[in-house]
Amino acid sequence: MAKLRLNALNDVLHRKPKHMKELQERVSQYFGRNTFNLKIMREYLSEVAYKSVKSAINNGTSVSRDIADQVATSMKDWAISKGATHYTHWFQPLTGTTAEKHDGFFKPIGPGEAIERFEGSLLVQQEPDASSFPNGGIRNTFEARGYTAWDPSSPAFVIGKTLCIPTIFIAYTGEALDHKMPLLKALHSVENAAVKVCQYFDKNVKKVGTTLGWEQEYFLVDSALFNARPDLQLTGRAVLGHAPAKGQQLDDHYFGSIPERATAFMREFEYESHLLGIPVTTRHNEVAPNQFECAPMFEEVNIANDHNLLLMDVMEKVARKHNFRVLLHEKPFAGLNGSGKHNNWSLSTDTGVNLLQPGKNPKSNLQFLTFFINTIKAIHDNADVLRASIASAGNDHRLGANEAPPAIISVFIGSQLTQMLDNLEKSITAGKMTPDDKTALKLDIGKIPELLLDNTDRNRTSPFAFTGNKFEFRAVGSAQNCGHPMMVLNTIVAKQLEDFKASVDKRIAGGDKKDEAILKELQALIKDSKKIRFEGNGYGEEWVEEAKKRGLSNLKDTPRALDVWSKKETKKLFSDMGILTDIEIEARHEIELENYILKLQIEARIMGDLVKNHIIPATIEYQSKVIKNIEGLMATFGKEEGEKFAKTQLLIVKSISKHLNTLNDLVNEMVEERKKANKIEDTRKKAYAYCDNVKVYFEKIRYHADKLEMQVDDEMWPLPKLREMLFTK
């Protein structure tokens, strides 16, 4: 098999960048061209239908059957004009990716005769044959069917020859089987709660929207090398492989000039993204070799999330055309930085105010502080659920591995805002505020914008950081559907805002003036949430100690992080808020554990396969060659002198034998543990077993395999090396 590797390397050396043909148009001219957006709808729909869909988008109202028929017909005509022949409901099952099932528009109406048809009923609802999507037991216990339902708030789009309609995916009994439905509920919930709180400050606010700007990190690997690595093919991660002599220590890749082949790929996937209305604006190199990032202009959360999922798909498709494979895995290469997906999040009003942006006067700053402090309190109270929302086998490699935010959830706000909150906490004493107190406080609060202007401290080690006009959740994994952490974040903030409103109203009813009631309540929140705030180095050992003293959780692996879903309080929170029922939570917990087990099981298997079928045979072959050489030396010079001449060869043979035997033993032991784990019925216990008894072998096996990689003749080594995958251009 060494031949496969050498041929692949040869292929890579002869690659040329594949430039797309020069575009005659500017981005603004083709942006969103393949989406059935409002502009197109105005053209295609009657006035009544257009207004109805617009209201569905803006206010979440429902679309009547009649109107749905009109929309469906127009959508079909538009899609056919774009070359589409099929349509699909595009949904987000709990596997983490997106799913689609294509149906043709054409309908036979008689012998040799057909028409193109697409009715409202097909637009609004579909029943995919989705029995093999994970359901966590929901459809076994209830009805063995699920259906997809149109989400009018996210525009339909055409990819290739298919019209894709964003939908939610639910069981017949109503339980959500996807990420979109709970996300929509959470957004609705936080938006309602935020409007009520905004009313304290501005009666004109009628609507609040949530915004998300994600930053997608990824690696590119040449497809020939990718295909010669079974582990990358099956798991997206190199489970074995010695670190290259040069990794990222020189930092010479970061923001460096992007290699020409990669640029050609990026231009094309950006073009494809722009056609789909995905506002990708930024691209740059990341820290590790062959690692890159792209980011869009932020959008409303539901749309932004659909766009991220779509982008991941588009990237993979376009990459193949350029003889690349995209690795979205959180940790494809040991020893190099992994990939994350920062989620920048904020709230904004229909009056054009970003609620996490300090304002121009004390009043709007008090509003800013209200949302700012409530968010911190929400994280404080629900850090474990937030941690659970980003738990996955892949992300376990990043969190707490001194390169990404730690598994300990904390909030960074910068020194000036820390000072501000400290002042606020101290400045209000029990009882009524004096006019002087109030003036001083208002002055203080009024200072925020100028303070923030020179706020340049951007702590990169914090999992949840305030970055001037938004919070940035940095612990999200690169392969993840942001819908899940966004659902959790928005739910906990909604809950906090509701509690805040209730407490402030109570204070007002007790005789406090509105401003005073708000300030006092904020003061209480600052006090109660203090321990979640951390400004220091999140990568340091001291923080682990300090966090422990503060009583913060440090849940390092997925099975432990997920345990919070079985707590009574968690279930109560999500059901009280109307986001997830107990059944849905239990199902999700089960599915995530199953995903975790399967991922580890596949990794363990491929690791065993690689060792037994690739590494051991190649090593033995090389060893035989060396032994032959030793024999030759002995035959030529006699035993005594021959042995002297063969000193190095003998050492090699011994060293190789040592690693070979240990490696084989370790793989056998791992297989035994895997077998034991597989027999466990209880999913949670099984996940723990995989984590504690199987996964622990990965590092050990890798150590010996990587030692052999350094000893066996390079020509005979069967797998592309990390150096080759990362540096060969």
Q: Give the residues lining the site for Mg ion (CB under 5 A).
A: 215, 342
Residue 150 three-state SS: strand
Pick the closer one to ligand ADP by CB: 248 or 344: 344
Q: Which does 345 bind (CB under 5 to 8 A by kind): Mg ion, ligand ADP, none?
A: ligand ADP
> Which residue lies nearer to Mg ion by CB, 198 or 295?
295
Q: What is the dihedral of CA 437, 443, 448, 454, to 10 degrees?
A: -120
**C-beta of 560: minimal distance to ligand ADP in Å?**
29
Cα–Cα distance for residue pair 430/422, rounded to 1 Å: 16
Shortest distance (Å) from residue 215 CB to Mg ion:
5
**3-state secondary structure (DSSP) of residue 159:** strand
Name the binder of 211 from ligand ADP, Mg ion, none, CB < 5-8 A by kind.
ligand ADP
DSSP state of 176: B
Q: Which does 142 bind (CB under 5 to 8 A by kind): Mg ion, ligand ADP, none?
A: none
Instruction: Kindly state the DSSP code that residue 178 receives in the 8-state scheme.
Output: B
List the structure tokens of 118: 């697409």
Residue number closest to ligand ADP, CB atom: 213
Which CB atom, from 190 or from 228, has the smaller least distance to ligand ADP?
190
What residue number has its CB nearest to Mg ion? 342
CA dihedral 313, 318, 323, 325 (to 10 degrees): -20
DSSP output for 462-507: -SEEE-SSSEEE---BTTS-THHHHHHHHHHHHHHHHHHHHHHHHH
339 binds, among ligand ADP, Mg ion, none (CB under 5 to 8 A by kind): none
d(CA 178, CA 133): 10
Q: How far is the CB of 301 from ligand ADP (least distance, A)?
A: 9
In angstroms, rounded to a whole number, what is the distance separating the alpha carbons of residues 522 and 112?
Answer: 73
Nearer Cβ to ligand ADP, position 192 or 469?
Answer: 469
**DSSP code of residue 461:** T
Residue 295 binds which of Mg ion, ligand ADP, none (CB < 5-8 A, kind-dependent):
ligand ADP
- The C-alpha atoms of residue 613 and residue 608 are separated, in whole angstroms, by 8
Residue 469 interacts, among Mg ion, ligand ADP, none and using kind-specific CB cut-offs from 5 to 8 Å, with: ligand ADP
Q: How far is CA 718 from CA 243, 657, 658, 678, in A?
A: 16, 18, 20, 30
Smallest distance from the beta carbon of 288 to Mg ion, in angstroms? 16
| Structure tokens belonging to residue 403 | 């390169």
The token pair that represents 507 in the structure block: 């204070």
Given Mg ion, ligand ADP, none, residue 354, with its beta carbon under 5 to 8 Å by kind, binds: ligand ADP
Please report, as ranges, the residues that interact with ligand ADP according to CB under 6 A: 211-213, 215, 295-298, 342, 344-346, 354, 469-470
| Closest CB 185 distance from Mg ion, rounded Å | 27
Of 585, 488, 533, 584, whose CA–CA distance to 190 is shortest?
488
Task: State how beta strands 86-91 and 162-171 pair.
Answer: parallel
In the complex, what is the shortest distance from the CB of residue 345 to ligand ADP, in angstroms, rounded to a whole number? 6
Task: Kindly state the smallest distance separating residue 28's Cβ from ligand ADP, in Å.
Answer: 18
618 neighbors 712 (Cβ within 8 angstroms):
yes
> DSSP character for 297?
P
Q: Give least dist CB 305 to ligand ADP, A.
A: 12
Nearest-approach distance from CB 468 to ligand ADP, in angstroms? 8
Six token digits for residue 341: 């997906």
* Partner that binds at residue 651, options Mg ion, ligand ADP, none, CB closer than 5 to 8 Å by kind: none
The one of ligand ADP, Mg ion, none whose footprint includes residue 200, by CB under 5 to 8 A per kind, is none
- State the nearest-atom distance from the C-beta of 284 to ligand ADP, in Å: 9
**Nearest to Mg ion of 284, 625 (CB atom):** 284
Decide whether 73 or 478 has the Cβ nearer to ligand ADP. 478
Nearer to Mg ion, 403 or 512 (CB): 403
CB of 81 to Mg ion, least distance (A): 39
Nearer to Mg ion, 235 or 461 (CB): 461
Coil, strand or helix: which one is 357?
coil
Contact partner at residue 370 from ligand ADP, Mg ion, none, CB < 5 to 8 Å by partner kind: none
Q: Decide if 152 contacts 38 (C-beta within 8 A).
A: no
- Contact partner at residue 601 from ligand ADP, Mg ion, none, CB < 5 to 8 Å by partner kind: none
Please identify, using beta-carbon distances, which residue of 206 and 284 lies nearer to Mg ion: 284
Q: Tell me the two tokens of residue 710.
A: 């350094």
Nearest residue (CB) to ligand ADP, 164 versus 486: 486
In sequence order, what DSSP letters do the residues of 237-295 get, joined into one string?
A: S-SS-PPPSS-STT--STT-PPPHHHHHHHHHHHHHHHHTT--EEEEEE-SSTTEEEEE
Measured from the CB atom, the residue of 297 and 651 that comes closer to ligand ADP is: 297
